[in-house]
Chain A
Amino acid sequence: MAAGKASGEILLVRNANKRFGGVQALKDAKLTLRDGEIHALLGENGAGKSTLVKVLAGVHRLDSGTVELNGKPFIQGSPRAAMEQGITVIYQEPSLFPDLSLAENVFISRLPRKGVAITWAQTRDETKKLFDELGVDLNPERLARGLSIADQQVVEIAKALSLDASVILMDEPTAALTSSEVARLMSVMRKLAERGKCVVFVSHRLDEVFAVCSEVTVMRDGETVAESPIDKTSISEVIKWMVGRELKEMFPKVDAKVGATALEVKSLNSASEFKDVSLHVKKGEIVALAGLVGSGRSEVARAIFGVDPYDSGEVILNGQKLPPKRPKTSVARGLALVPEDRRQQGLFMISSVARNVAMEMLNRLSKLGFITNKQEINLTQKWQEKLQIKYSDPRAPVESLSGGNQQKSVLAKWLATDPDVLIVDEPTRGIDVATKAEVHRLLSQSAADGKAVLMISSELPEVLGMADRIYVMHEGRLTAEMARNEATQEKIMFAATGEKVAVAGKKR
């Protein structure tokens, strides 16, 4: 399909293992790259592809396993060394030097010199030549400030060429590009392959993968589950490889009585983040908002809650319109948001567990404007029992707790406000399996208590196991809505990757 003179093997990863804390990110993973090919590296969020890319970028070091580059062992653990050995990574959002010219960005820290003096004319001409080879029209002398992301990536690719890289890894490069920019990037990728480079394309957009790649490697749960030439497989087979695992009994779903609509969102728009999002959640219901990372789910949640503004649309809570940009009002009316990043947004890490749990309750607990430690601790102990939070002392800083118990503390903080609608963003990210099941039990219990739960999750088993109803988002738009009994991993994945055709259960 793609042009290129694929010949010899250039990079071999074998039996790669990497563990982060309790998570086995890579499990005997393997990858085989040949020169002149465009190789897709696919997998769900958390399948291990990012870890593998980072190992090759020199950011991480394998616990065990081998990486062989051009027949020699690859020296791991240094980004600069990786670059010098011929591996370059183009990130989704490159970080250029905004105050320097494009030419200088390309040749930074190895500008051509005559004696001690840098030869700017040569720098400019060589950069121009690289841009020409890539078929892009950029002025080497302009500053990088204000450059579009697509053009920034081109500058990074030119840099890779100037370094004579043999492997160029692109980590979801198209996520932030418009369609004509994607087309240009694809033509650049083909040009690189024609020159004998190996291009690795990490993407969730399967249509793009099938348009440009010649080989595909699929990862799941840290393992390499499939390797195939692209013309020997199909989109649906690839999706099956990506999701193909059994649902474990991790989802203690309690049947709850579904009541009136608690939260309704009517065609919510935000210029750059999401478009025309309409959804509703009823009392006693757990509704999942599925989709890939970056599809705009968290942004929708933040807009509903009132942290971020939105351009048009309505949020209705218990039949009353909720004013935009008023998180305080949202809380007072019975809305709670447990954010995705608990360290940055959910907790005050150096404050005590008790202070954190009581944070949203200060007004209700205080007497004459004062609050005592004892009140905070009493409240915390009450929720500790309900949620089984494990800590040595309620006065201990919350950062001393494990990730799972931190997450439970955030949940406790919001459940303490007795909300009618609970929005949870990636509630089980980065916590161990046992705690995961407990968090699931808590959410299920909350729904059974008559609360409406909107759960954002990137984990398909969690979505399928917990949700009564599922919305799927893709690039800022809702692409599917399905009931629990009609949802499958494949359907969700199709909708989440924008493969509209195959979404059989799609309503609207």
Chain B
Amino acid sequence: MSGPTVPAPTTTTAGRARKLINGRIASLFLILALAIGITAAVNPRFLGGSGLTDLLIGSAVIGILAVGLTPVVIARHIDLSIASTTGLSAYVTLSIVVPNGWGLWQSFAIGAGIGLLVGTVNGLLVAGLNIPSLVVTLGTLSIVRGILYFYSDAGRFTPDVIPPSLIAMGLDTILDIPIIFWITLGFALFAAWWMRYTPVGRDLYAIGSNPPAAQLVGINIFQRTLLAFMWSGLMAGIAGVLYIGQFAFVDASAFINQELAVVTAVVVGGVNIFGGSGTIIGALLGALLIRVIAGGLVAVGVDPFWQQAVNGVLLITAIGLDRILALRSQAKIQRIREDRVEEQSWRE
């Protein structure tokens, strides 16, 4: 037995691993269709009229935040400051745009700037000082919200003062799809591309998959991690502007406590909470799914207060399922190995 070919088990497990990933996206679509179908069957109004449009409008903010968070989670980090940053971006943007009589483009520029600033601070603290991202972003979650409360001084922006172009963005559709969802989709496709086709994206996967090995092959972990947090911040900043369009009402508690919904979306969308694997499109589908379930619960007459609990159940189910699948495939690999060893010693 000097065969340089050790065939079967490797290729089949390979196929299985690939299928698992593709299967994740496919099964998300399936669950999504199922959830929509069941809800629509119980309550036909869920899809009727502007139902679908409302669903997409409702998914835009959480969707773009999921797109922002995914590269961070893939790199084995977390960003809990995103919901606070969204609120800060929404409020501060309006506080500058409204008095100056500015419109859409200035709003996006300001929102993006605020998001990038918070993201850069997060990234520098995490990558530069090696403080765990959970600690850093838990801190900036409170700090950013605190700044917002101080800055707003109990103020608020109502539809009558918000620039009409922003309100229109939240209402209008192109090809029946809301403009704010187009924006989310655009960023999602861009992020999906760079996570797949550029060294920055691939390095983030490598860092999350095996950090010491990433160091050994000379990946610039500091720079890549910083970029991931800047991206997450940028998306949170843009999300703030989308938030203005969606709600046409902003005060200091805008989007408060929503960070865990985004984490849930990302994890439900198949991004490994321990880093290394997952896709942007999966995370976006995850965001859609939790919005469908939230809307669906209301449509079938469940008290909306249950929504948080349902998100929690989704989060644990998604992680639990991954864990079970991983354990099962590991056991399988172990069995294959033992069979091979046994075969070996038998030959000897």
Contacts and interface: CB of A to CB of B under 8 A. Distances in A.
B2 A147 contact: no
Interface in B1-23: 1-7, 10-11, 13-15, 17-18
Contacts of A108: 202, 206, 217, 219
A138 B10 contact: yes
Interface stretch (A173-181, A297-305, A331-339, A420-428): A173-181
B14 A139 contact: yes
Contact of B4 (A98, A136, A147, A148): A136
Interface residues of B, number: 45
B31 interface: no
A146 B4 contact: no
A142 B202 contact: no
A97 B210 contact: yes
Interface string A87-117: 0000000011111100010001101010011
A183 B217 contact: no
Contacts of B4: 134-137, 184, 187-188
Given A99-B208, A142-B10, A109 B213 contact: no
A136 B216 CA distance: 26
B106 interface: no
Contact of B209 (A99, A120, A139, A141): A99
A221 interface: no
A257 interface: no
B213 A95 contact: yes
A98 B11 contact: no
Contacts of A118: 196-199, 202
Nearest to A150: B6
Most-contacted residue by chain B among A95, A145, A151 (CB, 10 A)? A145
A137 B209 contact: no
Given A116-B198, A147-B10, A179 B344 contact: yes
B219 A109 contact: yes
A98 B7 contact: no
B218 A97 contact: no
Given A117-B198, A118-B198, A142-B10, A97 B5 contact: no
A163 to B, nearest CB: 11
B218 A109 contact: yes
A346 B304 CA distance: 55
B333 interface: yes
Contact of B212 (A95, A113, A138, A151): A95
A79 B213 contact: no
A442 interface: no
B197 A96 contact: no
Interface in B270-284: 272, 276-277
Contacts of B209: 97-100
Contacts of B333: 146
Interface string A54-96: 0000000000000000000000000110000000000000011
A181 B348 contact: no
A225 B317 CA distance: 62
Contacts of A142: 10-11, 13-15, 17-18
Contacts of A109: 199, 203, 206, 217-219
A180 B277 contact: no
B206 A137 contact: no
B282 to A, nearest CB: 14
A136 B329 contact: no
B213 A96 contact: yes
A80 B218 contact: yes
Most-contacted residue by chain A among B196, B197, B338 (CB, 10 A)? B197
A179 B344 CA distance: 7
Contacts of B11: 137, 139, 142
A111 B199 contact: yes
Interface string A174-203: 000011110110011000000000000000
A141 B199 contact: no
B247 to A, nearest CB: 37
A147 B11 CA distance: 10
Contact residue range for chain A?
Answer: 35 or more
Interface string B214-243: 101111000000000000000000000000
B165 interface: no
B198 A180 contact: no
A2 interface: no
Contacts of B323: none
Given A100-B206, A135-B4, A180 B10 contact: no
Contacts of B1: 179-180, 183
Contacts of A139: 10-11, 14
Contacts of A141: 14, 18
B299 to A, nearest CB: 38
B328 to A, nearest CB: 12
A143 interface: yes
B10 A99 contact: no
B24 to A, nearest CB: 13
Contacts of B257: none
Contacts of A98: 209-210, 276
A499 to B, nearest CB: 16
B337 interface: yes
B5 A136 contact: yes
Interface in B241-272: 272
Contacts of A187: 2, 4
Contacts of B203: 109
A450 B6 CA distance: 54
Contact of B13 (A111, A134, A146, A180): A146
B11 to A, nearest CB: 5
Given A98-B210, A100-B206, A146-B329, A181 B197 contact: no
B270 to A, nearest CB: 12
B46 interface: no
A139 B13 CA distance: 10
Nearest to B276: A99
B2 A184 contact: yes
Most-contacted residue by chain A among B199, B206, B217 (CB, 10 A)? B217
A188 B10 CA distance: 18
A353 B231 CA distance: 50
B341 interface: yes
A385 B214 CA distance: 50
A151 B6 contact: yes
B218 to A, nearest CB: 4
Nearest to B340: A178
Nearest to A149: B337
Contacts of B5: 135-137
B205 interface: yes
Nearest to A151: B10
A178 B197 contact: no
A104 B330 contact: no
Contacts of A137: 4-7, 10-11
A96 B276 CA distance: 12
A308 B272 CA distance: 31
Contacts of B344: 178-180
A143 B17 contact: yes
B17 A100 contact: no
Interface of B: 1-7, 10-11, 13-15, 17-18, 196-199, 202-203, 205-206, 208-210, 212-214, 216-219, 272, 276-277, 329-330, 333, 337-338, 340-341, 344, 347-348
11 contacts: A100-B202, A100-B206, A104-B202, A118-B202, A142-B10, A143-B14, A148-B6, A150-B6, A178-B344, A187-B2, A188-B4
**5 nearest interchain CB pairs?**
A142-B14, A99-B276, A99-B209, A135-B4, A97-B209
Given A97-B209, A180-B6, 9 more contacts: A95-B216, A98-B210, A99-B272, A109-B199, A117-B198, A137-B10, A143-B14, A179-B347, A180-B3
